[in-house]
Amino acid sequence: MISTFDTRFRQPSFFQLLEASMRISHLKPATLLLFAGIGWACVTESTGPVVPPTNDNPIRRATITGKIVDYCTNNAVAGAVISVGYDGGVSTTTSDASGSFSFGDVPVSRYEILNGQLVANDVYTVTASLVDYNQAQTDSAKRYRNYYYQNAILTYTSTTDSTGLIGLIGSVTFMISELNTTIEGKVVDRDMQDVPNAVVTVFDQSIVAGAVIAQTTTNATGDFTFNNIDNGVVVSLSAMNSDGSQQGTLPGFLFLPCNLMNDSLRSHVVAERIRLTPADNVAPFVIAVTPENNADVTPGGFQAVFTFSEPIRQTPYTRTDLGIGHGTIMDAITINYIALKKGAAQVVYTAQWNASFTQLTVSPEALTGSARYTLNFIGAAGSGNLRDYAGNALVNNTLLTGDFEILNFTTNGGSAVPATPTLTRRLIPGLYVDLDFTGGNVNFEWTSVPSARSYNVYKKTGNGAFELLAQDVYRTYYTANSGALVTPYVGVGSNPLYPMSVQYAVRAVSADLVVGPASTPVTVSDAVKPQLVGAVIGGALSTNLYPYTLSFTEPMDVVSVETSSNFTFSNTGGVSYTVQRADYLGYTGGFYVVRLTVATSAAPIAGYVLTIGNNVTDLSGNIVDSAANSQTF
């Protein structure tokens, strides 16, 4: 029988083959995936040129032979429809009583040069259809899959092969197995509880390793059954719960026995339980800590609560009922009392998990008012013993304080929240002045708050957060070193790229340690104008083309100093000057250098002036000092 499509030169795609198979056999796609799993192979050509056939190499036709036998009994299977596509159509034949079949006069269109000789070879996909065979079987246990596929590799041989053929030949053997095995099993979770509606998949490990044979779902008690599985093959099983959050596999392979005793008897295999575990590779973390760091709280009934992103697996380490001294999490959490005139002391506490194990509540006993405390959870968080059910260890949440850092809090007394101080910066000539890019000492003062016991000073660098710079300050002024006001900066010789400001704020603290609101911040940045400290003309690069080297006191804004129009020449004596390019060279010889390449209409005449325009700035946007922005040559 010849079909109307050309499978020799246009092999059907996997999905075309799958669709056709489904129309013929009405099987589920999960079953057909195994059948098409081999795919299409192609002949690998040598690196030499492909040579067409000549009179010296007349063999252009080949013979494909093969046999189809039972996988378990090795008995021949007669009546299978075998097909292969060539010459613009599909040729078919039927396996005989010995299971044998053959195709003659199969064209070979591929040639390559191997070891200096012209060699013909090719690959064809041979299809074995058992559709008609299966329909003729009254005993369903005697049926096979509807389709099998094998590749026939055509090669030239100069000797007679086992079939008595000589020349271009290829042979295939189909090992097929009756579909008379039943597999039963159960899916359970990590606590050995039944998992209903789990998807269970059987994978072939014999005929096409890794291909899907069948798929089903578990019933209300977690049980599953597969019927009509290949007799005598090796399979593997996997399962996944309905939302995909838990997965598991059957340990090892499942070896299905060959049924040789009674042809009508179905093999029955009971698999071990498939145990599901969370399919989770995301580490848990603390999503909230109450109170927040540096909060002022009421001492009576105080509780600190750690909320986790997912349940924490309960182990002997996570027990909270044994108290201190048993190697549990209770030994890793400490609460310390830091009084104003007394040394630190550890506070007794209890702890309790919630029902879902997503919150741990720590309850200290008998906190006093107007005191400062710390809660140290670092030992527990970093122990590696707090893990989710997938085994992922707790990781640090860098967006909050209190999980992998010490949590600070104070207890209030009877005083009101202190008022907000007003903060100002002091500039005293010769003592506290505007700072250049290297930074320096900053002095500021603030208004006195009548109810304040002391003051806390905070500093913010760049885009960071305000951090405590000094506490228990008993005066209303403070001096701090700003650090560099550009970045990156590692000292003399640095080539910073960006400006960086520093901010300061102050809070008043009451007698019982209640911290008031922060003042309006004072911002400190580079406020010193850059200066041109030297300009030198170099030897001519070519006729009327000269380099100029300009030295500045500060790191400059690259865009502004590399804009040629920002540099002008005057008092030129009739000679025209054109800045062809400006290049920022960074820190060189103690200054920040710009090189100009200038073309002139004639040799320069002494007395001309180079002026730096107002658009040239340092990194902080300060324009060049008008008292030092020009050079006379």
Q: Which domains does the chain have, with CATH numbers?
A: 14-176 (2.60.40.180), 179-278 (2.60.40.1120), 313-411 (no CATH), 423-524 (2.60.40.10), 532-632 (2.60.40)
For 34-90, the pLDDT digits (tens) are 222 333 323 323 333 333 444 444 446 888 999 999 988 899 999 999 999 888 888
Does this model's pTM top 0.85? My answer is no
How many other CB atoms sit within 10 Å of the CB of residue 266? Answer: 17
CA distance linking residue 27 with residue 34, whole number of Å: 12
What does the pLDDT read at residue 471? 92
In sequence order, what E strands does 7-158 have?
Answer: 61-70, 81-86, 89-94, 100-107, 111-114, 117-120, 122-129, 147-157
What does the pLDDT read at residue 106? 87
CA distance linking residue 469 with residue 455, whole number of Å: 11
For 314-361, the pLDDT digits (tens) are 999 999 999 889 999 999 999 998 755 344 578 899 999 999 999 999
Q: What's the pLDDT band for 142 if we cut at 50, 70, 90? A: confident
- What average pLDDT does range 606-621 have in this prediction? 95
CA distance linking residue 281 with residue 287, whole number of Å: 17
Residue 386 has pLDDT above 60, yes or no: yes
- What average pLDDT does range 466-475 have in this prediction? 94
What does the pLDDT read at residue 25? 34
Percent of the chain that is helix, strand, coil (3-state, to 5): 5, 45, 50
Residue 407 has pLDDT above 80, yes or no: yes
CA distance linking residue 43 with residue 124, whole number of Å: 10
For 275-286, the pLDDT digits (tens) are 887 777 788 999
- Strand 349-353: give its sheet, edge to edge: 286-290, 304-308, 359-364, 349-353
Residue 223 has pLDDT above 90, yes or no: yes
Length of the chain measured in residues: 633
For 535-579, the pLDDT digits (tens) are 999 999 999 999 999 999 999 999 999 999 999 999 999 999 999
Which tokens hold the place of 113? 């040069």
183-197, 216-230, 275-289, 619-633: lowest mean pLDDT where? 275-289
Which tokens hold the place of 582? 């400006």
What does the pLDDT read at residue 58? 45
Instruction: Provide the residue type at 382 as one letter.
Output: G
21-30, 226-235, 487-496: lowest mean pLDDT where? 21-30
Helix (H, G, I), strand (E, B) or coil at 282: coil
What does the pLDDT read at residue 208? 76
**How much of the chain, in percent, has pLDDT values that exceed 70?**
85
**How much of the chain, in percent, has pLDDT values that exceed 90?**
58
What does the pLDDT read at residue 31? 27
Contact between residue 348 and residue 325 where contact means Cβ atoms under 8 Å apart: no
For 237-264, the pLDDT digits (tens) are 999 998 887 888 998 899 988 876 444 4
CA distance linking residue 557 with residue 498, whole number of Å: 9
CA distance linking residue 285 with residue 283, whole number of Å: 7
Residue 28 has pLDDT above 70, yes or no: no
Q: What's the pLDDT band for 152 if we cut at 50, 70, 90? A: confident
Tell me the pLDDT of the chain averaged across its residues. 84
158-162, 302-306, 326-330: lowest mean pLDDT where? 158-162
Q: Do you find a cis peptide bond into 521, omega within 30 degrees of 0?
A: no
DSSP one-letter string for 202-267: EEESSSSTT-EEEEEE--TTSEEEEEEEETT-EEEEEEE-TTSSEEEE-SS-EEPPP--S-TTPPE
Which tokens hold the place of 496? 């910073």
- What average pLDDT does range 151-165 have in this prediction? 61
Tokens 């009877």, located at residue: 414
CA distance linking residue 568 with residue 564, whole number of Å: 9
